[in-house]
Amino acid sequence: MESAPVLPAGNPESIVAAAQLLRDGGVVVIPTDTVYGLAASVFRPEAVARVFQVKERAPDVRVPVLVATAADIPLLAREVPRDAWNLIVPFWPGALTLVLPARRDLPPELTRGGDTIAVRVPAALPTLRLLEVLGEPIVGTSANISGWPAARTWEAAAAQIGGRVDAILADDNAVTGGLPSTVVELQEGQPIIHRVGAISSEQIRNALGARRKVREDLTYRSRPR
């Protein structure tokens, strides 16, 4: 099977072309902060479903969503708890994923029967530019077949899934490797750290304030990674 075309992310025309593919319901490989990711517009359920097909992932595992700015959160979350802003200011763009109460009208392909949505503003400049041009949130799960190694070069992504996607937005310099994002759930009551990644538990607690109680639940396995 022939691999998808490679679009150099340093070329503005590549960003526009990738955005148009997503707008048309396509699936595109993109550079995220640590590994390459699979992108699809969250408002095109058939494209989100295709991401699961590309990854051969179980349909009950939800995927995180990438946004260009915190101003886009209301497109996905029905409320933004006060604690969220104490974390957004110091850690976005960057390696913080916030799990928030999901809007009731989101496509079921995003929530998979749950009532939360995981949101992050990436630090990778090509992906931020893509989000700005597209004007819509995108899913941002890793660009690999489930159970296979995550791709840190566009060639590695192409070798695994290049024949299953519509394009590869390539910029290996934007993929820094390292630890994944730290996942924090914020609903009513106590904030919960579900995964400790590039941002430490101590940093989260300091940002929320010394008097704010924070719980850890690192058994969080069936939600976005």
Query: Measuring CA to CA, which residue among 105, 103, 140 is closest to residue 121?
Result: 140
In-domain check, residue 39: yes
In-domain check, residue 140: yes
Query: Measuring CA to CA, which residue among 201, 191, 197, 210 is closest to residue 82?
Result: 191
CA-based angle 73:200:103, to the nearest 5?
Answer: 20
Domain ranges, residue 20: 6-181
Helix (H, G, I), strand (E, B) or coil at 91: helix
Neighbours of 5 (CB within 10 A): 13
Q: Which helix (H) or strand (E) is 52 found in, with range?
A: helix 45-55
Q: In tens digits, what is the pLDDT along the chain, a chain of 225 residues? A: 688 999 999 999 999 999 999 999 999 999 999 999 999 999 999 999 999 999 998 877 788 999 999 999 999 999 998 899 999 999 999 999 999 999 999 988 888 888 999 999 999 999 999 999 999 999 999 999 999 999 999 999 999 999 999 999 999 999 998 999 999 999 777 899 999 999 999 999 999 997 888 989 886 553 333
In-domain check, residue 171: yes
pLDDT of residue 190: 86
pLDDT of residue 188: 73
In-domain check, residue 81: yes
pLDDT of residue 25: 97
Query: Measuring CA to CA, which residue among 83, 74, 60, 69 is closest to residue 103?
Result: 74
Q: Taking the CA of residue 212 as centre, how many other CA atoms within 13 Å lie in the half-sphere pointing to its CB?
A: 22
In-domain check, residue 163: yes
**CATH number assigned to the domain comprising residue 29:** 3.90.870.10
222 token code pair: 């069936």
Q: Which helix (H) or strand (E) is 225 found in, with range?
A: none
pLDDT of residue 1: 66
Check: CB of residue 8 under 8 Å from CB of residue 14.
yes
In-domain check, residue 186: no
pLDDT of residue 220: 55
In-domain check, residue 74: yes
Q: Tally the domains of the chain.
A: 1
In-domain check, residue 202: no
